């Protein structure tokens, strides 16, 4: 089993990233987390799992296959979610100043390491 905390820590060192949460995809509960700020990780886990379910369903309807990575950009930041083999998801919450391309690259790299 890889050191999950060591995999998540570099994600929160990216500028503006507020937290990284590894979660169970089917249950929507936190497996482990690294937080730069006090975010509601339980809420992030629950709603990220729900969102991933719906986007996966949409992707399947459109014939795009399984979800790999999901980016949601809002006024005050973004949420990036990557699927991790073994019924897991890795989510990061960013601020508006976060370089999203770098965050996405590191997220996918971390997801591979967890797997």
Q: How many residues bind another protein (CB under 8 A)?
A: 16
What are residue 76's phi and psi, to 5 degrees? -105, 15
> Could you give the string, one character per residue 13-52, with x where binding to another protein holds by CB under 8 A and - elsewhere?
----------xx-xxxxx---------x-xx-xxx-xx--
Q: Where do the DSSP E strands lie in the chain?
A: 17-24, 30-35, 69-74, 77-84, 88-94
Q: Output the smallest distance, CB 50 to another protein, in A.
A: 6
Decide: 108 and 69 in contact? Cβ < 8 Å. yes
According to DSSP, residue 33 is labeled E
Torsional sign, CA 68, 23, 100, 93: positive
Express the helix, strand and coil content of the chain in percent, nearest 5 each: 40, 30, 30
Q: Which of the residues 76 through 95 are near another protein (CB under 8 A)? A: none
Q: Output the smallest distance, CB 53 to another protein, in A.
A: 8
Q: Which of the residues 53 through 72 are near another protein (CB under 8 A)? A: 53
Q: Output the smallest distance, CB 25 to another protein, in A.
A: 9
CB closer to another protein out of 5 and 40: 40
Enumerate binding residues for another protein (CB under 8 A).
Answer: 23-24, 26-30, 40, 42-43, 45-47, 49-50, 53
């Amino acid at each position: 089993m890889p050191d999950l905390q060591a995999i998540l820590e570099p994600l929160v060192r990216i500028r503006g990233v507020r937290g990284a949460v590894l979660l169970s995809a089917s249950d929507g509960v936190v497996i482990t987390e690294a937080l730069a700020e006090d975010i509601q990780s339980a809420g992030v886990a629950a709603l990220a799992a729900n969102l991933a379910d719906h986007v996966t369903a949409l992707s399947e309807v459109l014939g795009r296959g399984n979800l790999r990575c999901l980016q949601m950009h809002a006024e005050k930041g973004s949420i990036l979610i990557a699927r991790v083999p073994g019924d897991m998801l890795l989510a990061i919450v960013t601020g508006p100043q976060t370089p999203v391309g770098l965050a996405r690259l590191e997220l996918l790299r971390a997801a591979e390491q967890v797997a």
